[in-house]
Structure 1
Amino acid sequence: MRIVIAGASGLLGTSMSATFRDAGHDVITLVRREPASESEIRWDPAAGQLNPAALAGADAVVNLSGAGIGDRPWTRRRVDELFSSRVGATRTLTQAMHQLDVPPATFISQSGSGYYGDAGNTVLRESAPPAEGTLARICAEWEAAAATAPAGVRVVIPRTGVVFSRTGGALGRMLPLLRLGIGGPFGNGRQFWPWVTLPDVSAAFLFLLESQIRGPVNLCAPEDADVNAIVAALAAALHRPAVLRVPSFALRLVMRNLAEELLLSSQRMEPAVLQDAGFRWQHPALAQAAQWVAGKEGAGARG
């Protein structure tokens, strides 16, 4: 299979590209600089520029484009960038597809668990409606842009949860503190985080590429857990205490809306579509995932 990836240089894209290649697929990456090899093609998503020939002959396009949600404070300018870097890039891809006589058969376009907002203890399947809030609006517009792909293209929307990685990602700032024994839960810790390990994200995308699934897909592990349980599992795997709770008011004071929507909101997602389709997780249980993050389980996967 010939797969074109947008956003391949990030944490997910790097792991995913390796997984696809290991499975025997031909991977082409879209880059915003001068191409360094024949497997790279230049585009300018900010300007809406992509030569449709870049997608000609591709069996699938995987869209991971988007500025980092938690990388910087949510100023008005940054929020605009979060929207434009996702929606604009996605529309650039779908517009290029429309200019082809034979567009790629499959378009997998990333979304996030933020689509559901703060849902408390409600179990969220893929049919749950979008919420209010900045993250929910970003995800809804991102998904709407993906839906503008040409008729006949199989569009898949993975709503990815909190990705566990050994370096970087959602745990990038938490892990060093936990390793030192000075980390702890955020707020009361009873908010659910839909977690999933990096190898399982890449494996799930490969599964979706090779399946006939279409529409939204909750991408998280089958075992749900709140922040208290997640921090406790990671601390246990690292053999460190985790008692220094960060109070909600302090997070709101320092991070404002970013804290409310990214750290304190609760999404109890259920990966119903993946489960029904027979996907098998490498790390279905939180204890397994924590051992892998701590480097104490031979996962044999990149991350």
Structure 2
Amino acid sequence: MATLSAGPPRSKMPEFSRRTGYPVSSLQLYNWHARPGAFERLVPPWESIEVLEQSGGIADGARLVMRIQQGPVGVIWEAHHRDHIEGHQFVDEQVRGPFKHWRHTHRFEALGPEQSLLIDEVDYALPMGALGNFFGGGFADALVESMFAFRHRRTGDDLRRHQALSPTPLRVAVSGSSGTLGRALVAFLSTGGHEVYKLVRRRAMNPDEIAWSVETGEVEQDKLEGLDAVVHLAGEPVLGERWSTAKRRRIEESRVRGTTVLARALAGLSEPPKVFLSASAIGFYGDRGEEALDEDSEAGEGFLAGVCQRWEEATEAARSAGLRVVHLRIGQVLDPRHGAFAELRRAQKLGGASRIASGTQFMSWIDLDDVLGAILFLMNDTRGRTLEGPVNLVAPRAQTNAEVMATMARVLGGMKLVPVPGATVKTILGADAARETALASQRVVPRRLIDAGFEFFYPELDEALAMKFGVALHPEASEG
């Protein structure tokens, strides 16, 4: 849990406002906030927040209940919506939670036909009156400012992506929608105005769900008819437990068998989707030292390389039926709470880790938002639609582990004291898993995305870290 910093006593309730202009109409700006997924897109990624209940969107009477986790302590926050004026504003007000009072007004003003202003105004008070303000006021102010800096930057990024890549709404199905990447993709596409369906491995209980089963091979094929795209992200997590025989089998079968089931279902449709984007990974290339790897590079050796090859081959039924098939060879996704970067940051904060083993192994990373943008680009952009087969989803420049951890320490703060021995990593992950993940070197280049003209919003690690961890954000906005 963060340490509270003392601040000057206050005589009145704090007020915060942030105003940012965007090159879209006020209706487009309002619609982005009104669509499903907006809350998920606006939650700062460094916060651990779980939505417990949500109903009514942003209309009067809408309700949102969430749990905010701060270290071992969880706080319930319940907010109700009021004063909604369609196309212009809505208000959310805390009815229980960490603040004594919280009222947040969202306003959308037109500056011209394709120019608008987002205004966020917050009145809030800490519990315990003047004493709470004295000890926690500065801390609360910093949290609020970081949160809204992120929200306004994220809003602008998403609007810019959708304006460039979404001339018409699409109908898209997504598997793996409960995972980190899948949840983010569903929210990103929904707020952009696309019609999104979730492929679920249970009985479909909502109109936006499509049931399928890896075990039985059954799929609700009728619900797949006429879709524009299917994005297949489902798969057993690679890490989290030792690579026992059973774990290896789950890793492979969830990918190969699951992809085969979906590919055959799509191949049997009367009106199949225009594109099948199926996840793969840069594990395809194996441990390759300093060799620069693009989509024409051969497969490597090892368990993960073999799984990735068979994973990609499992789409054959869809390809043979004439669908455009794209293999998303995804790198290490930058996310503060999940995956490699979360573990590296934990090692740095708790143990002052300066590097993992020699630190010379290359890490091919990519910002989560650039993954989402690349998927939409491959789905709907005139240049992206020319691509099929393997596409590397990594940032333009891979960096060594030592470089990555030095950048993290510089941007996020922290000590660089000692390296983590390779033997320690093998003890934690298991020898095989360590060799093929944390200790493997993969210097991957996104050649096909670059050649097609895809724009990376976060090509440099320092800016991506600052955005995702809420450090030193400087969007074009004014505060009052």
TM-score interval for Structure 1 and Structure 2 normalised by the shorter chain: over 0.9
1:246 aligns with 2:420: yes
Task: Report if the CA contact (8 A) 1:4-1:28 is conserved.
Answer: yes
SS in 1 for 2:314: helix
SS in 2 for 1:241: coil
Task: Report if the CA contact (8 A) 2:229-2:276 is conserved.
Answer: yes
From the superposition, tell whether residues 46 and 172 of structure 1 become closer, same or farther in structure 2 (CA, over 3 Å): farther
1:271 aligns with 2:446: yes
Q: What residue is the counterpart of 2:364 in the other structure?
A: 194
Per-residue deviation, residues 175-217 of structure 1 (Å, max 9, x unmatched): 2333446333211010001000111111111111113111101
Query: Which runs of no fewer than 5 residues in structure 2 stay unpaired?
Result: 1-169, 476-480
Separation of aligned partners in 1, 2:357 and 2:468:
23
* CA displacement at 1:298 relative to structure 2: 6.5
From the superposition, tell whether residues 173 and 103 of structure 1 become closer, same or farther in structure 2 (CA, over 3 Å): same
SS in 2 for 1:14: helix
Which amino acid is the alignment partner of residue 275 of structure 1? I
Q: State TM-score, norm by structure 1.
A: 0.94
**Residues 146-155 or 72-81, more deviating:** 146-155
Per-residue deviation, residues 112-168 of structure 1 (Å, max 9, x unmatched): 010000111000010001011000001000000023214320000111000011221
* CA displacement at 1:108 relative to structure 2: 0.2
Separation of aligned partners in 2, 1:298 and 1:260:
39
1:178 aligns with 2:348: yes
* CA displacement at 1:102 relative to structure 2: 2.0
Task: Report if the CA contact (8 A) 1:6-1:31 is conserved.
Answer: yes
Q: What residue is the counterpart of 2:398 in the other structure?
A: 224
Which amino acid is the alignment partner of residue 3 of structure 1? V
Task: Report if the CA contact (8 A) 1:166-1:295 is conserved.
Answer: no
Q: What residue is the counterpart of 2:432 in the other structure?
A: 257
1:99 aligns with 2:281: no
Q: What residue is the counterpart of 1:30 in the other structure?
A: 199
Query: Which runs of no fewer than 5 residues in structure 1 stay unpaired?
Result: none
Separation of aligned partners in 2, 1:282 and 1:65:
26
* 4+ residue segments displaced more than 4 Å: none
The one of 449, 465, 469 aligned to 1:294: 469
Q: What residue is the counterpart of 1:20 in the other structure?
A: 189
1:140-159 paired onto structure 2 within 5 Å: 140-149=309-318, 150-159=320-329
Q: What residue is the counterpart of 2:294 in the other structure?
A: 125
From the superposition, tell whether residues 272 and 98 of structure 1 become closer, same or farther in structure 2 (CA, over 3 Å): same
SS in 1 for 2:362: coil
Q: How many equivalent pairs are there?
A: 300
The one of 221, 233, 236 aligned to 1:64: 233
From the superposition, tell whether residues 183 and 37 of structure 1 become closer, same or farther in structure 2 (CA, over 3 Å): farther
* CA displacement at 1:26 relative to structure 2: 0.7
* CA displacement at 1:293 relative to structure 2: 3.0
Per-residue deviation, residues 33-55 of structure 1 (Å, max 9, x unmatched): 34342111222122222121131
Q: What residue is the counterpart of 1:165 in the other structure?
A: 335
Per-residue deviation, residues 215-264 of structure 1 (Å, max 9, x unmatched): 10111000220100111111111111132311112222442100000111
Task: Report if the CA contact (8 A) 1:116-1:128 is conserved.
Answer: yes
Task: Report if the CA contact (8 A) 1:234-1:291 is conserved.
Answer: no
**Residues 57-66 or 247-256, more deviating:** 247-256
SS in 2 for 1:5: strand
Which amino acid is the alignment partner of residue 334 of structure 2? F
From the superposition, tell whether residues 96 and 298 of structure 1 become closer, same or farther in structure 2 (CA, over 3 Å): farther
Per-residue deviation, residues 83-115 of structure 1 (Å, max 9, x unmatched): 000011101101111221221110000000100
**Residues 161-170 or 267-276, more deviating:** 161-170
Separation of aligned partners in 1, 2:173 and 2:451:
27
Task: Report if the CA contact (8 A) 1:123-1:268 is conserved.
Answer: yes
Greater relative contact order: 1 or 2 (C-alpha under 8 angstroms, separation 6 or more)?
Answer: 1
* CA displacement at 1:32 relative to structure 2: 1.7
Instruction: Give percent identity, aligned residues only.
Output: 35
Which amino acid is the alignment partner of residue 415 of structure 2? P
Q: Which of the two has higher C-alpha Rg?
A: 2
CA RMSD, 1 decimal: 1.7
Separation of aligned partners in 2, 1:164 and 1:102:
36
1:73 aligns with 2:247: no
Separation of aligned partners in 2, 1:69 and 1:238:
27
**Residues 15-24 or 2-11, more deviating:** 15-24
